[in-house]
């Protein structure tokens, strides 16, 4: 199988900018996920004790894997396509004292979702529709799981009246998203909604702008490419704030 989106598309950048992205995003540990929300969801549902092993698909710099290992002592395997992110994840796990619990590998997510596995938990956080719409995505995420295993997803849903935006064609409003998840066969155990945080988005945007400016100062030939990326990030933030809501889902694979 091939992912429905390429790596650059999941990071909203042009392919030529991909190799510079680790530099632009160097101030971020989490690349979209909000690990405290995921931890709180597992705690409030009281299911963490049933989870010893997890697979964090598209783990980025490992923020979620490391948080789960630290809080619950879970063994987490993370996989991500970008080698520089994987190296950052390994260093961060060592700094956090959980390098014995976290194993990060560079690779394509397709390898992870096409082989049957026996993980207790699969995490898919801020990755979007790389595997297609949510029904197909959840069906794939069940592959590496044992029977009755858990899935944590962080994604956004559209608010009523949201305009069509490239990259969000596969998204839907909350009720429709729920219906589409149910079609996958997974059970919905819990769902939490969060408003988009304007203040946090502004702070994130400032960090991106600062690192982008430093890159262009060193490499003026990249000015147009970087400017297009920054502009797109701004538009994306505006769209997310105005037209979407963050949602965290806890799902369960059915008994075989
Ligand atoms: C928006 S980031 C989210 C990362 C992480 N889950 C987090 O929230 O910090 C999306 C991640 O997906 C990874 N990615 C995109 N396509 C991939 C693929 N085909 N296989 C593995 N990783 C991929 C990117 O390298 C990037 O780190």
Decide if 172 is inside a domain: yes
Which residue among 12, 81, 153 has the greatest number of ligand 1 atoms within 8 angstroms of its CB, and so is best to mutate? 81
Per-residue confidence (pLDDT) for residue 171, from 0 to 100 = 96
CA dist 32 → 100, 200, 254 (Å):
25, 11, 28
Domain count, the chain: 1
CA of 161 to the centre of ligand 1 (A): 29
Per-residue confidence (pLDDT) for residue 3, from 0 to 100 = 83
Phi-psi bin for 127: left (phi > 0), alpha (psi -120 to 50), beta?
alpha
Token pair recorded at residue 164 = 């069509």
CA of 7 to the centre of ligand 1 (A): 7
Encode the chain (256 residues) as per-residue pLDDT tens digits: 888 788 999 999 999 999 999 999 999 999 999 999 999 999 999 999 999 999 999 999 999 999 999 999 999 999 999 999 999 999 999 999 999 999 999 999 998 999 899 999 999 999 999 999 999 999 999 999 999 999 999 999 999 999 999 889 999 999 999 999 999 999 999 999 998 777 778 899 999 999 999 999 999 999 999 999 999 999 999 999 999 999 999 999 999 8
Decide if 1 is inside a domain: no
| Domain span at 93 | 7-252
Decide if 221 is inside a domain: yes
Q: At 98, which CATH number?
A: 3.40.50.150
- Sign of the CA dihedral running 129, 134, 139, 143: positive
- Contact predicate 20/212, CB 8 Å: no
Give the strand pairing for 145-158 and 244-252: antiparallel
Decide if 2 is inside a domain: no
Decide if 62 is inside a domain: yes
CA distance 41 to 82: 28
CA of 218 to the centre of ligand 1 (A): 27
- For the chain, the C-alpha Rg in angstroms (whole number) is 18
Residues at CB less than 6 angstroms from ligand 1:
3, 7, 10-11, 30-33, 58-60, 63, 79-82, 85, 108-109, 125-127, 130
Decide if 176 is inside a domain: yes
Per-residue confidence (pLDDT) for residue 176, from 0 to 100 = 98
CA distance 101 to 106: 17
Per-residue confidence (pLDDT) for residue 79, from 0 to 100 = 98
């Amino acid at each position: 199988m091939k992912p429905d989106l390429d790596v650059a598309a999941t990071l909203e950048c042009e392919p030529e900018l991909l190799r510079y992205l680790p530099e632009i995003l160097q101030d971020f540990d989490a690349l979209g996920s909000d690990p405290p929300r995921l931890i709180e969801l597992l705690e409030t549902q009281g299911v963490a004790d049933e989870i010893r092993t997890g697979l964090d698909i598209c783990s980025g710099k490992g923020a979620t894997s490391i948080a789960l290992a630290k809080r619950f002592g879970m063994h987490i395997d993370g996989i991500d396509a970008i080698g520089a992110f994987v190296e950052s994840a390994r260093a961060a796990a060592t700094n956090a004292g959980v390098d014995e619990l976290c194993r990060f590998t560079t690779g394509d997510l397709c390898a992870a979702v096409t082989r049957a596995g026996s993980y207790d938990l699969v995490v898919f956080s801020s990755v979007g529709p790389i595997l297609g719409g949510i029904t197909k995505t959840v069906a794939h995420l069940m592959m590496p799981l044992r029977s009755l295993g858990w899935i944590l997803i962080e994604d956004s849903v559209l608010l009523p009246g949201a305009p069509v935006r490239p990259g969000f064609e596969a998204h839907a409003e909350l009720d429709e998203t729920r219906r589409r998840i149910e079609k996958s066969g997974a059970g919905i155990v819990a769902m939490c909604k969060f408003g988009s945080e304007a203040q946090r988005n502004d702070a994130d945007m400032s960090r991106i702008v600062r690192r982008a400016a430093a890159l262009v100062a060193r490499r003026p030939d990249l000015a147009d490419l970087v400017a297009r990326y920054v502009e797109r990030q701004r538009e994306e933030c505006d769209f997310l704030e105005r037209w979407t809501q963050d949602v965290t889902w806890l799902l369960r694979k059915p008994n075989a």
